[in-house]
Structure 1
Amino acid sequence: MPAQSTRELIVEKADALFYESGFEATSFADIAAAVGISRGNFYHHFKTKDDILDAVIARRMERTRAMLGGWQAEGEGPRERILSFIHMLIANQSQIMDFGCPVGTLCSELAKLGHAAQGRATEIFGLFRDWLADQIRELGAVDRAETLAMHLLAWSQGVAVMATAFKDEAFIRNEVAGIGQWLASLPDLSQPT
């Protein structure tokens, strides 16, 4: 595997800092220090913080597409694939309890700032929504797929917000179990009766 370029390392470190500290609170100096480069070398790769934000959003989009593709390839059926999405809350519970959902926190912060990149950040949620809707359509709920996908996405975001607020692993596990029960209660409309 080729060595990571300085530009890629800047984007990786900026992504982590934006998640853990917030976009607005993260400075060029913070990112340069995390990467271990001078500010002059930093400016060779990115001229503005918005340029870095664009690269971070592109990185998150790429990683989300790869994750969804993996779930699609590995899941035995739509229910199992949706469970992969739901179990992401448990797999990432420590980070979620400390910093919230990486997509949700970025979208919220950019919306508060009235930042032009907010719409692009929201496209990450769009990837999840569209993928979930495809899974729900495959279950046969064609007319309600978008609505149910948004419900599931909103439920998972609510769990992430409350997990951050209350720092309660049991809450996350209980909610994930509840989402799983809700999913199991959906009829498989794709099968003939």
Structure 2
Amino acid sequence: MSTRDAIVEAADKLFYENGFDHTSFAHVAEAVGISRGNFYHHFKSKDEILEAVIDRRVSDRLAMLEQWDGVGETPQARLECFVRLLSTNREKIRRHGCPLGTLSSELAKLDHPLGPEAKRLFDLFRSWIRRQIEAFGRIEDADLLALQLLSMSQGATTLANVYPDEAILDLEIQRMLDWIADLTPKPTPQADQKEQS
């Protein structure tokens, strides 16, 4: 791994765990084990690091969505991958919240010029979820439903961060899985008869 990549990886972790505003050049340099002079060779400002972190998160999430597209045979199965990610990351979420939501919220509070760049992460998931819902035949309200699922997932991560009760997150995950199942088109009796004949 290059020094630049190591800086971005360390900054990504620190921004998530401690917040962007509370992470300094010195914190990142110490985490990577380099001098400040070497650090400035790669990044001149914290905003440059933030931009690189956002780009990294977008790239990582794109790869994850492509993987879900490959393993999920149906739109329902692919959407379930999105929801089950909350369970996979439950410990991190319990400690630090959602990496997407916390960064976007912090940058909004700071009125940071890179706030719209962080929004790209939500746009990426929104667009991907919308495509899955459109595959159900829900064209007209697909975007609204995508926003609804995003909203439910963000609410679940907030609750998991506020309340240490594991059952709360499990309940919210199941609620989202049921919501997805309700969206899934059910076979009509005519279709069942055709399959049997």
Question: How many aligned residue pairs are there?
Answer: 190
Rg comparison, structure with higher value: 2
The answer as to whether partners of 2:76 and 2:184 remain within 8 angstroms in 1 is no
Post-superposition offset of 1:168 = 2.1
Hey, what's the Cα distance between the residues in 1 that align with 2:170 and 2:36?
43
CA shift digits 1:103-130 (9 cap, x unpaired): 1000000000000000000110000000
What does residue 185 of structure 1 align with? 182
Superposition pairs for residues 33-182 of structure 1, below 5 Å?
A: 33-182=30-179
What does residue 2 of structure 2 align with? 5
Tell me the amino acid that sits aligned with residue 46 of structure 2.
K
Tell me the amino acid that sits aligned with residue 33 of structure 1.
E
Tell me the amino acid that sits aligned with residue 38 of structure 1.
S
Post-superposition offset of 1:187 = 4.0
Hey, what's the Cα distance between the residues in 2 that align with 1:190 and 1:57?
42
Q: CA RMSD in A?
A: 1.4
Post-superposition offset of 1:188 = 1.4
- TM-score, length of structure 1 as denominator length: 0.96
Hey, what's the Cα distance between the residues in 2 that align with 1:11 and 1:169?
32
Does residue 27 in structure 1 map to residue 27 in structure 2? no
**Structure 2 unmatched ranges of 5 or more:** 192-197
Tell me the amino acid that sits aligned with residue 66 of structure 1.
A
Post-superposition offset of 1:190 = 9.7
The answer as to whether partners of 1:140 and 1:190 remain within 8 angstroms in 2 is no
Hey, what's the Cα distance between the residues in 1 that align with 2:53 and 2:115?
12
CA shift digits 1:15-68 (9 cap, x unpaired): 000000000000000000000001111000000000000000000000010000
Match of 1:76, SS state, is coil
Tell me the amino acid that sits aligned with residue 55 of structure 1.
A
**Structure 1 unmatched ranges of 5 or more:** none
Match of 1:184, SS state, is helix
Hey, what's the Cα distance between the residues in 2 that align with 1:39 and 1:100?
30
- TM-score, length of structure 2 as denominator length: 0.94
Hey, what's the Cα distance between the residues in 2 that align with 1:5 and 1:115?
28
